[in-house]
Amino acid sequence: MQYLSVGTNQILADLHQPIRNGQIKPTGGLWATIHDPNYPNYNPWIEVLSIHPHILFYKNLHSNPFLLPASLITLNTNAKIFIIKTKNQLEFLKKYYPTNDDWIDFEKLSQDFDGIFLDLDRILQNISPEDRRKIKTFAVSTLIIFNLNCIKHYQKATVDIVPFDFEFENEFTDYQIIIDEEIKHISDSSQEFSSLIADIKKQEYTNWPISETYINQKYNLLLSCFAENYKEKYHYSEPTETLKQLLARQISRSI
């Protein structure tokens, strides 16, 4: 089975954000939805974007919001993905990977599994109203990858959405999912990035988490120069400012 991740067409180990617990949904990881080869131009998440077009412009100020980078992901056959499609499976996670508010500790779960797949349509049956409320925040059936090593390979893709009239924002629009034939593999973390983190750690004498805003502001010039060189070396297509923010977030979680 293959999955489509919308938001980037380059999966780099250096920029992978570790999974962190949120109020309901976790942050970090790599998010994707099932890609059915029988329906090559259908994707449930793109359907959501069609109904709520304002999401297309969220943090997308430097490029065409109707032309989205994406990645078609193929997992290893031995990838450890916990599938949630029944009430019993959900209750298992809440029992053995609990949080204080009766939900799932995704950080702890990531220590034992490569990811989870939430089958939204099936799991909504026969669960409590509170659990149903939480599950619905995922919007569509979702794969969250914790560990990039479970990915066998990926292919660059583009989602080309036909611009539409915002006066009728609840009207579905047409789009095409274009997938490159070239098979790509995730490279190991670069020594340059490891050195950058080490250099910043030497200048920071705190053990508590440091915000990405602090890192971005204090090391603005260093991050900007590094981002420019990184883009050139790895042919990364995101704007420098976006890459700098991703680097700052990754560094803040590494200190």
pLDDT in tens, 203-232: 877 767 788 899 999 999 999 999 999 888
**156 in any annotated domain:** yes
* Last residue within a domain, chosen from 179, 206, 223: 179
- Give yes or no: residues 232 and 161 share one domain: no
Give the global pTM. Answer: 0.88
Same domain, 25 and 96: yes
Examine the pLDDT at 164 and tell me if it is beyond 70. no
Return d(Cα 13, Cα 11) in angstroms, integer: 7
Whose tokens are 């020594």? That residue is 191
Distances (CA, A) of 163 to 38, 168, 200: 25, 12, 43
What is residue 191's predicted lDDT score, i.e. its pLDDT?
86
Token digits of residue 40:
């090559």
Do 143 and 165 lie in one domain? The reply is yes
CA dist 135 and 176 (Å) reads 28
The closest of 68, 71, 63 to 239, measured between CA atoms, is 63
Residue at a domain's end among 159, 179, 199: 179
Which residue type occupies 161? I
pLDDT at 129: 94
Residue 246: domain span: 191-252
Overall domain count for the chain:
2
Specify if 185 maps to a domain. Answer: no
What is the predicted pLDDT for the residue at 61? 52
Going by pLDDT thresholds of 50, 70 and 90, the confidence category of residue 165 is low
Classify residue 112 by burial, with Cβ atoms within 10 Å: 0-12, 13-18, 19+. exposed
Tell me which residue of 39, 48, 29, 50 sits closest to 166, measured CA to CA. 50
Cβ atoms of 13 and 249 closer than 8 Å? no
Let me know how long the chain is. Answer: 255
- Residue 112 sits in the same domain as residue 227: no
- Residue 203 tokens read as 């200048």
Kindly give, in sequence order, each residue whose CB lies less than 8 Å from that of residue 254, ignoring residues fewer than 6 positions away. 197, 201
178: its two tokens: 């274009």
The DSSP symbol for 184 reads B
227 shares its domain with 139: no
